[in-house]
Structure 1
Amino acid sequence: MAFDQNTRGRLQKLVNACRALLSDDFSIQLQQVYGLDPKTGEVTPMARLTHLDDRQRHTAQVLRQVLGHYLGADADDTEHRIAVIDRMVREQAFTVLNRMAALLMMEARGQLFESVSKAYQSRGFQSYARLAGAALGETGQAYQAYLFSLFDELAHELQGLFDRFAANGLLFPRETALRALLDELNHPDIIPLWAEDETIGWIYQYFNSKEERKAMREASQAPRNSRELAVRNQFFTPRYVVEFLVDNTLGRLWYQATKGTTALKERCQYLLCTPRDIFLRRFEADDLRPGSVAALVQAGKWSELPAFDTSEAGVQAMIEFAHCVNTYDRHPNDTWGDYFQRLEAALRAQRYEALSTQELWDGVFLICRADRHGGDGSVYQERWFVEACQTIVDRLKADDAQQKPNIIAFHVVRDPRTLKLLDPACGSMHFGLYAFDLFAEIYREAWAWEQQHGPGSLDVSTQPQLLLKPLCQTYADEESFLRDVPRLIIEHNIYGVDIDPRAAQIASLALWLRAQRAWHDAGVKAKDRPLIGHGHVVAAIAPPAERELRQQFAASLDPRDAELFEKTLHLLKGLPEMGVLLQVERELPSLIRQVYVGKGTGLFAQEERADWLAAEARLRKALTDFAQAAKSTYQGRLFAQDALQGLRLIDLCREVFDVVVMNPPFGALAANTKDQLVKAYPRSKSDLLAIMVERGLELLRVGGRIGAITSRTCFFLSSFQMWREEIVLGMARPDIMADLGNGVMDDAMVEAAAYVLEKRV
């Protein structure tokens, strides 16, 4: 179902109505039941809340600890306290809406019995109510208990959304509000949308209104805090842009590795590949025999290369380069034989003038392959050789420039478990959802590749620490392998970061639902589906600020670990506004040296990574123990959770990615991090989008690809000149660009461009 303007308008109306319902109900609950006034920020002492039963009293105490955690060191600031209580209302409303939407989407995918779509008449609830009898009270109370049992079950895999004891999910609508919410969610116009993967993303998009974004921009040109930065840049990426960028990053890398023998050529409608693609083979020792063209090029002796023409020397140069090329795949098996014979005859008679440039190359390639390599398809790897080939191509006096071959470097076929894709501003994970489809196909083809070429034929050298066995030694058969693929994709391949915790909540849910749909489509029953472990979606949230808790936790550590913990929290100070732009991986070595060197450990630079891993493991265990200790308060658990989330972000920034895709924030830098960003990214300081592109390239491995949709102005305004020269053309090589113009990203008033860069250095 297409999310056209009418469909999006109807969904926006739903989200607005649900937000108003839930926000009003929770504001009343906080004020009248739990003694937290959203208007004045007043907090009623617990002793005065004599109307509460035991359960409500516990909730009131927990809500106060959440408030204290969010306030940090600013507990006495009334204006700040009002803003924090407003945040609590907003978070509770968003979580409940997402939970109910998630249940409806699970129903549509066969993952869940009918539970929400018919409200109190749902078959799942009716069965539950018959078993429970009158033990759970009135119908409304029983239905709430039924939903809570579903939440508790789903929290095993989706803790961030369904944990009823999480800070953002403590409240639940009263029966009148719940009935109104169910009516809205089950409106006939909305029901078809629950089967669509994009629905949850549009809910996230519309939870903040256009009016709210407009008011923020009118109040300040630059975002004033992390929430404004997130809300002002919350623009859903159209599906065709997502496909264009993912096809030509992830899809392109797999296309190159398989030398074009992938079904992605047909599946990816925006993948740019042509019949003129030439795939170079792996280097062989004989190719560097003294005096060969390859040896001269590798030595940089370009002046000694024979002039490229149709003389004997020129043809010989072509032949030596052609030894490193496979061209058979460029011609259908039923036609290339006759074509080859005609070209061979012309070449043997030296009738070069009778051949077009394309025919000349094809003829030489085919002769060389038949003569020497037997069509084994192996190709060169070294980048200097790719550039040498392209130099020869550029010297050709082609009859038609469009006929010049496109030389493609050698790429090994990787074990798909080692491929990593990052969206550093993931929002609702729109890029990741489409990438999931491509990864599924890549896994299927990887199994077939290994079956054809044998165990060990899939390269795992980029991730030696994983100790991966060949697929055929890990799984009993293809069926068990394919059943595990959705889990593998979430646990190994797709990474996301967002400065909005609600986005991380949605992104994790979206990927989980996509995995469930894959199993549903494959006929895998719910009981046979593998459990999905912790994925790689990280919320860039502020490190815990409670001084007393920090001191209490530090007292439980070795003094050096305590010092490292404090320095790490200080390093993460700007995290809510900066996310992955905070170059934590660059600072870690100096932190390790500051804490440990000269204090009896005898560390050396090469040991810093290992010692950080060891120290981090100790901190993780200590934080987990701190949160689970019997004497730990709810606020203490929140403190530990936020600190652990910071460690997850550090781990993510230390990864090396193959693909980065994004619709990054753009415009002015947030006021409270501007100086820090200008210092860290002097070549890209003109705009947040330029900084995001530079950071994306930093996180890529050489040969990796970044795809982005941004404002097009960065490609011609003079203020971006250094960025264009030193980043786009210095660190990378522009590969593809689409100038899209206005009206691409919903209501964003910006002329957009989508482009792909390949990292060179």
Structure 2
Amino acid sequence: MIKELVTEVPRDDFDVEKEGQVEIIGWLYQYYNEEPKDVAFKKSKYAVSDIPAVTQLFTPDWIVKYLVENSLGRYWIDVLHTRGNQRSEQDIAQSFGWRYFMPAAQQTEDVQQQLLAINSHLSDKKLQQITFLDPAMGSGHILIYAFDVFMQLYQSEGYSAREAANSIVTNNLFGLDIDRRAYQLAYFAVMMKLRQYDRRALTQSVEPQLSDIPKTNILNDDLNELTRAYANQLSQQQAKSFQGTVKEFNRGDVLGSLIKPILDQGILSELQASAATEPESAQLSFATTNFNFEEMSRVTHVLTILAAQYTIVVTNPPYMGSGKMTPSLSKFVKREYPDSKADLFAVFMELAQRLNVQNGYHALITQHQWMFLSSFEKLRVKLRKNVLVNMVHLGTHAFEEIGGEVVQSTAFVMKNASIPSYVGTYERLVSAPSQTAKEDSYLEMVKNFSSKNLYRTNQTNFGKIPGSPIAYWASANLIHDFEVGKPLSEYADPRQGLATTDNKKYLRQWFEISFPSIHFSAHSTEEALQSGAKWFPYNKGGAYRKWYGNYDYIVNYQNDGEEIKRDVLRKYPYLKTPDFVVKNTDYYFREAITWSKVTLGLFNVRYRTIGSIFDTGGNEAFSRQGADLHFFMGLLNSKIGGYALSFINPTINMLTEDIKKVPIIITNEPVRESAAILAKMNTKIGKDEWDSFEVSWNFKLHPLIHNIVEHTVLVICHIHRRISKIRVTAKHPFKKLATWWHKIQNVPKKCQTFGLGGH
């Protein structure tokens, strides 16, 4: 392996001067974790040992530079401006060679005055006072580029490279990670950067402010002894708080940087100093417990880092949905981070805001669900207290090693200050097909502010759209529609349907079951129960199809779903009733409009006739007070409907909550009636087309066969008319034809069947 590493990897990838050092370390470690990651991804829930592998994702170099230049770089530009530097942001960034710095939008006079007031204290800011934290540092990629930017700043202030390097490691850079191997790599990378500028660095006592999160095994008795050891330094209340915090490190390999220190940084610093070396006069010897001074020193070091606030916080946080979390982690985030509990990356967004000083900057790259989904609405409200300065909306393929259309990313920079009317800058790169194409598109926008995919908008506009999504590309007209229109929920009831919990057991395609045993026309659950039937049509969503179709499945709902309900209670004994899974039964079998929950392409709505039960993947909307569903179906299927929904939720999962928010403006009754008529015509065309193929249970005849048969019958009918005029004799050439003809005397009836009259 070493031979291949030396011979196959280009020399430049190891060259510190050519920025290869951290790249090679990071990529090697990510691929080192590849096999355990693949195994873990197949699990329904992750084990504690899976967390390091599944949450390690090496950040592309250009995104690291974007995050650091637009946070740390922007902060220093603020410092220079308060000192009286008259150069523009763009000119200063170019002087440092920051290619990925995006100048802020032009602000109103009022906003400019607020910014001047907020930044007024920066004129005396010293470089040694600017702290930079990555709370999920991995192998240190972000920290190393921050080192390079700090080096530029120090040298611009007249420091020598050696002085600057030592100050950066001692004063400026801080990092934490849950994975000990990743921490060791980051430590190595930072020390090598220091060694680059100070050849005696490894023989000196310079220690990077980095740490992994230790996992301890502390018993309650040990905690009591521990607090007695610090009786002179902690009050009774402080000792109790300290006990609770230290005990969290029993789950250090699960909670990582999310542990909340309760004591302030000053007290923790004192505890760390006393734990660094065991004093001879210590009240207690930790050799007799499961806890020692060395471990205590690591714990207090981490707590000291977490108790501070930082000028700049930048990270690529771990991604982990709540459904995949270990029970311990899930319980913790629900209690400590209730507004962001849906995903670990969102929890780190909240953490970054908490660790950031007032008027500082924090920057992250995350999945983009938090921008739109209702499960993150409370988080969006909380983040609205910050200024969203810049966002690169990356979409899919932001990471070359992640394929498919599911993982969609966004990178952003926030200022920890409240300026409601601030105009943010947004670069929309979702259509760029690859990581390289996205980088090229972004760099083009930095040069050309008139790009059609570069947006400048006041973030107060987001609050005018239901759910406050980060819909930066919304036009003024559409925002007005949301302000004056009524939500669709006032006219229709979007509902989520049945989850069988075992589709293989309860679902079939309709042609797999004896046709007479399927009941197609039930109007209610009562009628279905009285019919005694076992199988009923089932709406499971399905592929893209407008107006009508996807009548594929049937469900075993015999005796009002008795077997399904029994299985639900058996699988989920904590449920008192099966209603949580077998939900909205009052809407079963009703006329509705439906859409597929998962939509990879354009959004589409279909009409659903009376007689079906609906699924969680085939959600439905039902008429309220006689409202015409065809009108709303036509609206949702229009370009305007799809456009409005793209702001409410541009992800691949379209939920009932999203449909409820579509603005409805009815100003002209004839227009509404015309739209409904057109929708009904389209539905009729869609139904005729669906029923003309064997996939439909209403199938009669394939359209191609229909044309062939029609032509054949016309010919036969013509021959019949000719034969009827011929006096057939034994020797006549039509003798055989006439004999054959008299055997099929029902042909005239067939002519009538095909609408050919009485011929």
1 or 2 for the larger relative contact order (CA 8 Å, sep ≥6)?
Answer: 1
Structure number having the greater helix percentage: 1
Larger Rg: 2
TM range (shorter): 0.3 to 0.5
Structure number having the greater strand percentage: 2
- TM-score, length-normalised on structure 2? 0.47
- TM-score, length-normalised on structure 1? 0.47
